[in-house]
Amino acid sequence: MPVSPLLGRSLLRVTDLTAVELNTLLSLAIRLKGVPLRDQFTLLRGRTLIMLFEQPSLRTRVSFEVGIAQLGGQAIVASGDEFMLGSRESPEDAARSLARYADAIMIRTYNHQLLERLAGASTVPVINGLSQQAHPCQALADLLTIRERFGTLEGLRLAYIGDGRNNVAQSLAEAAALAGVSITFGCPATHRPSDAFLAKLVQLGGAHDITARAFTSPIRAAKEVDVVYTDIWTSMGDEQYIERNAAALLSYQVNEKLMRAAAKHAIFMHCLPAHRGEEVTDGVIDGIQSVVFDQAENRMHAQKALLLALLTDLRGFEL
Ligand code: CP
């Protein structure tokens, strides 16, 4: 009987996974996409996922909710002042209570330390649905989308244009590195990932011998890459920096000129929601190179694989 290496574990950051585990999750997601829905609804029958949202969400909430329903389980959502971790009660007490009701907890919170405290006290898996520091579920969907497009990940080159320090950029880069994808960041000095982070990416790449570099020129960063990725200039929770970020990132818009610097076969990616006319033009996000809605769909497939791997022994899914 296969035993999931992820059974009972939590996913707070991409680096909670080994390269092999990441590959297993992506392979499982691809396998699941080929299984008719009528054959999926017993896989998590009777299982419950509790989802806590301190911040707004469209894709994360709906993709988890539909995904677990397709597997025969159910999701329960609490948001806003329904839970107020850290002020109404400690995250540890909340975790110990919720673990009595549910098989897994997903939480979207700005405060990553709160998430770690919740996971530390929980007896069921905790999934990070986006924190200030990380968005691992998005990274799983991103890698799944790239792998489907190119048939492989190893040896590809990805450029992230914009705020190279934000949660989406950092989780994406970690996942890409683990999978053998080289990364360039195109960002101003104010939004450049640290040298220590770039060195960590090379280390995560292991035997793949990847590169991880940052350029102030977005055109240079995008030169001949296979994937161009961007995100909104100001992440949720950092709204006080909107004007400062817009000024600093104005010349880092992904537009038609920038896409011409990438390889002819390059794809354009964005985690959504997008601010059209800011970090990306309509022409690029609606253009033939854009895969943003495949990415959005893959949130559901990647998370279904994740839930199966955290909650079952993966019987019947030898990979
Ligand atoms: N990409 C993403 O996390 O989308 P939502 O904020 O809509 O969940």
Residue 167 has pLDDT above 70, yes or no: yes
Q: For a substitution probing ligand 1, which of 54, 109, 130, 142 has the most ligand atoms within 8 Å of its CB? A: 130
SS3 249: helix
Question: What is d(CA 143, CA 22) in angstroms, rounded to the nearest whole number?
Answer: 9
Residue ranges lining ligand 1, Cβ < 6 Å:
57-60, 130, 138, 271-273
The DSSP bridge partners found for residue 213 are: 184
9 classed as catalytic? no
pLDDT, one tens digit per residue, over 47-76 is 999 999 999 999 999 999 999 999 999 999
271 classed as catalytic? yes
Torsion of CA 62, 67, 68, 72, to 10 degrees: 130
State residue 81's pLDDT score: 78
Atom 3 (ligand 1) nearest CA: 60
Residue 129 has pLDDT above 70, yes or no: yes
What are the tokens at 228?
Answer: 């161009």
Note if the pTM is more than 0.85: yes
Cβ-based neighbours of 163, under 8 Å, separated by 6 or more? 169, 187, 191, 231, 233, 234, 235, 245, 249
Domains and CATH numbers, the chain: 14-135+299-311 (3.40.50.1370), 138-296 (3.40.50.1370)
Element (DSSP H or E) covering residue 182:
strand 182-186
State residue 2's pLDDT score: 58
> Residue 84: left (phi > 0), alpha (psi -120 to 50), or beta?
left
Q: For a substitution probing ligand 1, which of 57, 106, 270 has the most ligand atoms within 8 Å of its CB? A: 57
Q: How confident is the model at residue 1 (pLDDT cuts 50, 70, 90)?
A: very low
Mean pLDDT, range 274-281, rounded to an integer: 98
Percent of the residues in the chain that have a pLDDT greater than 90, as a whole number: 92
